[in-house]
Amino acid sequence: MAGNGDVRTRRVTQREIARIAGVSQATVSAVLNGSTSATVRIPPATRERVQRALEQARYVADPAARRLAGLGNKILGVFTYEPAMSVETVDFYGPLLTGIEESAERLGCDLLFLTASPVVGGRRRLLDRRTRFRLADGCLLLGQDMDEQEVAELVAEGYPCVAVGRREEPSIPYVGVDYGALTLELLTRARALGHRRATYLHADRQTPSALDRVEALGRATAGGVLDVRTEIVTDDDLERAARDAAGRGETLVLCENAFTAARVGSALVDDDTVSVAALGETEGHAVAGRQVSGFRLPRTRMAHEALTLLHRIIDGEAAPAKRHRLLPGRVEPGETLRAADGASR
């Protein structure tokens, strides 16, 4: 039957309670919801009788029925475009999950992880006939490689969504990190250390945050902070490109993330004249015992803010204008970004 069998296990319903208390199902519902409309009134005596029956029979509302009746049920969906708890991805998702769980507990919400969404073309697909996210009052979207069109459709439908990470599509609410400001701050620090020319090695991914970094590098170059050359490389070309940069006399190689920075750092470990830094989170990454220079991103706080925003949108409290949020991060000085005059061992 593959999980499609009859799963009715409930025994005690409002009707059952009504029978015990000698009232109607409607009255039970009214007591449960504390309805004090002008038209429906419950005197304390009846109310108490029903309450006792509820206690005694251990009544628990059926969330499916509540949902069907058009009410929210305090379930928030969590959609990740790749597995979130696997050994490989837990470094990235872990801090986010921490924040998500904390916030959900604080808000009194349960979390529906949409682990069943079918994988099409390497990433999970959100809009599919089998998807169950509509059971949730709203949905949190995590992952670099998001199909913004798909999400925009959902938003247009009126379904509450919040993305973690900046999005281009203006209709999508999001909570992200200000990569532009962080990039600029790191470059300013590099300039203070004597650097003048750098190369940014990247894979030319078109995600919003990747574009933010490139754009900030462009502004920095135009503004005379640092002259940054950008080069699109594949994973195989990384070391070659780094050595080329050194050969051109550049003193700093910037990378997209801590992994590539670590590889570049290893390739150049003998060359004290070239610094390396990542334009991403570098916690726990080191080259030859040296902490990789880069960013510290407030991932747990991002999750907090995202869940809070989602909750507000569900409650209709978030003005459309206040649905985009960029949080500040922190530059991690690290030990792989050193003074440019080099040879300072």
Partner DNA sequence: TCTGTGTGATGGTACGTATCATCACAGGAG
Partner DNA sequence: CTCCTGTGATGATACGTACCATCACACAGA
Binding site for a copy of itself (CB under 8 A): 1-11, 54, 58-65, 67-68, 70-75, 83-87, 90, 94, 97-98, 100-102, 104-105, 107-116, 127-132, 134-135, 137, 157-160, 311, 314-316
Stretch that binds DNA, among 13-21, 140-148, 151-159, 335-343 (CB under 7 A): 13-21
Q: Which of 19, 46, 219, 339 binds DNA (CB under 7 A)?
A: 46
Report if residue 14 touches DNA, rule: CB under 7 A. Answer: yes
Two structure tokens written together for 267: 């390739």
Longest dimension (CA), the chain: 89
Q: Which of 48, 56, 62, 91 binds DNA (CB under 7 A)?
A: 62
Residue among 41, 40, 101 at smallest CA distance from 76? 101
In the complex, what is the shortest distance from the CB of residue 4 to DNA, in angstroms, rounded to a whole number? Answer: 8
- Grouping H, G, I as helix, E, B as strand and the rest as coil, residue 137 is coil
Q: Which residues contact 340 (CB under 8 A, 6 or more apart)?
A: 190, 193, 194, 195, 196, 251, 252, 275
Cβ pair 201, 231 in contact under 8 A: yes
Cβ pair 309, 162 in contact under 8 A: yes
Pick what 39 binds: a copy of itself, DNA, none; C-beta below 5 to 8 Å, kind-dependent. DNA
Pick what 36 binds: a copy of itself, DNA, none; C-beta below 5 to 8 Å, kind-dependent. none
Is 160 or 280 the residue whose CB approaches a copy of itself more closely? 160
Cβ pair 110, 138 in contact under 8 A: no
Report if residue 56 touches DNA, rule: CB under 7 A. Answer: no
Q: Going residue by residue from 206 to 235, which x/- string records binding to DNA, judged by CB under 7 A?
A: ------------------------------
End-to-end CA distance of the chain: 68
Stretch that binds DNA, among 22-30, 150-158, 186-194, 228-236 (CB under 7 A): 22-30
Is 17 or 274 the residue whose CB approaches a copy of itself more closely? 17
Pick what 134 binds: a copy of itself, DNA, none; C-beta below 5 to 8 Å, kind-dependent. a copy of itself
Rounded-to-integer distance, Cα 290 and Cα 309, Å:
38
- Among positive and negative, which fits the CA dihedral 327, 333, 336, 340? positive
Report if residue 39 touches DNA, rule: CB under 7 A. Answer: yes
In the complex, what is the shortest distance from the CB of residue 255 to a copy of itself, in angstroms, rounded to a whole number? Answer: 28
Helices 179-192, 208-222: inter-axial angle, 10-degree rounding: 40
Looking at the DSSP assignment, which residues form a beta bridge with residue 229?
199
Residue among 129, 149, 154 at smallest CA distance from 139? 154
Q: How many CA atoms lie within 13 A of 282 on its CB side?
A: 31
Q: Which of 15, 240, 248, 330 binds DNA (CB under 7 A)?
A: 15
Is 109 or 198 the residue whose CB approaches a copy of itself more closely? 109
Stretch that binds DNA, among 42-50, 198-206, 269-277, 295-303 (CB under 7 A): 42-50
